[in-house]
């Protein structure tokens, strides 16, 4: 839950810092396992409209957006780490349609190295504004950190890198290693939210453009390591 929460929370903080609101934005979610289902749940709870979900089992489309109750039900009936339900669109058909859906937010939460440049360009042409990475290295690049598809995407839309957006579980471990912390759900989730917010604020302080967010975040992170 904490990782999916962070992926959704990163989008909320992005709009709060860079301008705009998550409420009413259309969302496509790739993957409906532990991370994707939780991310869909939390971003829907914020008032965003999930219009498409695709995973290995198939997918669902609702151009008007699934209600929060519908997303909650999909979360509850998922089969292990796959999307459940009786009306799933077959994967091959879904994979043809999902990338052209009109959407502002993309949450890639499936396996790594799946998203092609053609798919991401189709999404950009359909109104994409921001990507919050739930998967580690979601693009089909051979490079580990910053390949050509990731760079291409970062130069065109707001791309929140995985080490910020899906830091939830790693942050929980770090939080528990601190002295005298509150061991409550509220405190743990708030700490993850604050960590993501601080990281995005640091990016904004260096680069208030909505493009090259990942490049700036990497430069900050590498500077901290040196």
> What band does 109 get if pLDDT is binned at 50, 70 and 90?
very high
Q: Is 59 helix (H, G, I), strand (E, B) or coil?
A: strand
Q: Is residue 223 part of a domain?
A: no
pLDDT score for 141 = 94
- Phi, psi angles (nearest 5°) of residue 158: -80, 115
Residues 6+ apart with CB under 8 A from 2: 168, 169, 171, 172, 188, 189, 192
Pairing of strands 58-66, 49-55: antiparallel
Query: Is residue 172 pLDDT above 90, yes or no?
Result: yes
Query: Is residue 203 pLDDT above 90, yes or no?
Result: yes
> What band does 179 get if pLDDT is binned at 50, 70 and 90?
confident
Pairwise CA distance, residues 178 & 172, whole Å: 10
Flag the least confident range among 21-35, 58-72, 116-130, 137-151. 137-151
Q: Is 82 helix (H, G, I), strand (E, B) or coil?
A: strand
- Residue 54: CB atoms within 10 A of its CB come to 26
Q: Is residue 225 part of a domain?
A: no
Residues 6+ apart with CB under 8 A from 193: 5, 6, 9, 13
Q: Is residue 224 part of a domain?
A: no
Mean pLDDT rounded to a whole number for the chain: 96
Higher pLDDT, 75 or 142: 75
Q: Is residue 99 part of a domain?
A: yes
> What DSSP line would sit under 91-141, residue for residue?
HHHHHHHGGGS--SEEEE-SSSS-B-HHHHHHHHHTT--EEE--SSS-B--
Query: Is residue 225 pLDDT above 90, yes or no?
Result: no
pLDDT score for 85 = 79
What CATH number should be reported for the domain holding residue 159? 3.40.50.720
How many domains are contained in the chain?
1
Q: Is residue 48 part of a domain?
A: yes
What confidence tens digit (pLDDT) does each residue in 148-170 have?
Answer: 999 999 999 999 999 999 999 99
Range of the domain at 185: 2-215
> What band does 145 get if pLDDT is binned at 50, 70 and 90?
confident
- Cβ(154)–Cβ(117) under 8 Å? no
Query: Is residue 79 pLDDT above 90, yes or no?
Result: no
Q: Is residue 221 part of a domain?
A: no
Q: Is residue 23 part of a domain?
A: yes
The tokens describing 139, both together, are 């693009």
Query: Is residue 140 pLDDT above 90, yes or no?
Result: yes
Q: The whole model's pTM is what?
A: 0.96
Q: What average pLDDT does range 99-123 have in this prediction?
A: 97
Pairwise CA distance, residues 179 & 72, whole Å: 35
Cite the DSSP H helix spans in 46-90.
68-77
Q: Is residue 226 part of a domain?
A: no
What confidence tens digit (pLDDT) does each residue in 37-48 have?
Answer: 999 999 999 999
Looking at the chain, the whole-number percentage of residues with pLDDT higher than 90 is 90
pLDDT score for 206 = 97
């Amino acid at each position: 839950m904490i990782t999916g929460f962070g992926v959704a929370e990163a989008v909320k903080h992005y709009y709060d810092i860079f301008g705009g609101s998550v409420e009413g934005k259309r969302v496509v979610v790739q993957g409906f396992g532990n991370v994707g289902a939780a991310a869909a749940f939390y971003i829907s709870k914020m008032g965003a409209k999930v219009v498409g979900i695709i995973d290995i089992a198939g997918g669902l489309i609702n151009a008007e957006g699934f209600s929060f109750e519908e997303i909650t039900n999909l979360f509850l009936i998922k089969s292990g780490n796959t999307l459940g339900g009786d009306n799933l669109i077959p994967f091959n058909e879904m994979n043809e349609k999902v990338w052209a859906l009109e959407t502002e937010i993309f949450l890639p939460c499936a396996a790594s190295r799946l998203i092609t440049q053609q798919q991401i360009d189709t999404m950009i042409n359909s109104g994409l504004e921001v990507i919050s990475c739930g998967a580690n290295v979601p693009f089909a690049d051979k490079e580990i950190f910053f390949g050509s598809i990731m760079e291409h995407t970062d130069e065109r839309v707001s791309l929140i890198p995985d080490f910020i957006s899906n830091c939830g579980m790693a942050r929980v471990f770090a939080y528990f290693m601190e002295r005298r912390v509150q061991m409550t759900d509220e405190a743990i989730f708030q700490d993850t939210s604050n960590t993501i917010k601080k990281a995005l604020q640091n990016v904004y302080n260096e680069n208030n453009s909505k493009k090259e967010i990942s490049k700036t975040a990497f430069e900050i992170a590498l500077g901290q390591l040196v």
